[in-house]
Amino acid sequence: MSSVTVRVPAKVNVQLSVGPLRDDGYHDLVNVFHAVSIFDEVVAKESESITVQVNGKWSDQVPTDDSNLAIRAARALAKHAGRSYGADLIIQKGIPVAGGMAGGSADAAGALVACNELWGLGLPFEDLMEIAGDLGSDVPFSLLGGTAVGTGRGEQLTELPTGGVFHWVFALANGGLSTASVYAECDRLREASKAEVPWPQLNDSLMEALGTGDAYALGSHLSNDLQTATLNLRPELAPTLDSGRQHGALGAIVSGSGPTCAFLAIDATHARDLAHSLTTTGAAHTAVAAHGPVQGATLI
């Protein structure tokens, strides 16, 4: 096999509860991931070394050196297999870069699945999940897809049943935000307020809404503990969220660490109309309709 292609989805966090800062610099999380139909494609081709090339929108914002998460994933897989392998990785970007939708993690997951196939390793899914957890907190979910709750740093996953399809609109912002800077701002705001930070807990009402497929109930229970910090760093996102609500979104939230804003729609038609309204009114320069849940990293 000389070439393998893997499609891997973006995610939105329908609940992101952030616990107190731990001694190791991380936070305990309750992180409800939901995979949506915005995709990157990762192609792995035979090569003597491991390289990466990035195409599509935002490609100029993605590093192609050793810091690239897809390269790190391929190298971690080769190390796990105990041999030296090569692959030219070609990433077609559809997921925003530094947008709070796990684009880099998606590419890492895609590289793991593609190289496992290209190199004929035949490693089980559990092995790939273990490698993914060492690469980053969001990488295991990019492999898994669907809807799941992540605990610990977010990498300990439990699949959650969903009772139907949910329709979304994502308003894509100019420029990205580093996850580290948003968490740092969250910690700063908490320290300044001197408020006691509670231990994160899964929202039972949100779980029920997911299980029954009730979009109205889900919209009312969307939550993100990083949102205040993100809006502090990018205050221009607040009017975008307000505009989505004014145009009938069932819920409006910053996706992960942002700056992408996510809006839950009633159905596919409402999602298309909402995306059109956001762009024509100038509330967002680009708005994309999508649905979820969808599968994680998949060979195509």
Instruction: Flag whether 67 is marked binding.
Output: no
The answer to whether position 95 is within a domain reads yes
Instruction: Flag whether 70 is marked binding.
Output: no
Contact 112, 151 (CB under 8 A): no
CA distance 5 to 171: 28
Query: How confident is the model at residue 66, as a pLDDT?
Result: 93
Instruction: Flag whether 106 is marked binding.
Output: yes
Domain containing 175 equals: 166-292
Task: Give residue 252's pLDDT band: very low, low, confident or very high (50, 70, 90).
Answer: very high
Query: How confident is the model at residue 79, as a pLDDT?
Result: 96
Q: Specify the pTM.
A: 0.94
Instruction: Flag whether 98 is marked binding.
Output: yes
Q: Are residues 114 and 42 in the same domain?
A: yes
Q: Are residues 8 and 103 in the same domain?
A: yes
Q: Answer left, alpha or beta for residue 156, where phi above 0 means left and psi between -120 and 50 means alpha.
A: beta
CA distance 207 to 162: 9
Q: Are residues 90 and 201 in the same domain?
A: no
The residues assigned a catalytic role are 11, 138
Question: Where do we find the tokens 């494609």?
Answer: 41
The sign one gets for the Cα dihedral 65, 67, 68, 70 is positive
Q: Give the model confidence (pLDDT) of 1-55 as tens digits.
A: 799 999 999 999 999 999 998 888 889 999 999 999 999 999 999 999 999 999 9
Cα atoms in the 13 Å half-sphere on the side-chain side of 236? 11
Q: Are residues 11 and 123 in the same domain?
A: yes
Q: Give the model confidence (pLDDT) of 73-87 as tens digits.
A: 999 999 999 988 999
From residue 37, give the alpha-carbon distance in Å to each of 12, 274, 283: 11, 17, 22
Share of the chain above pLDDT 70, in %: 100
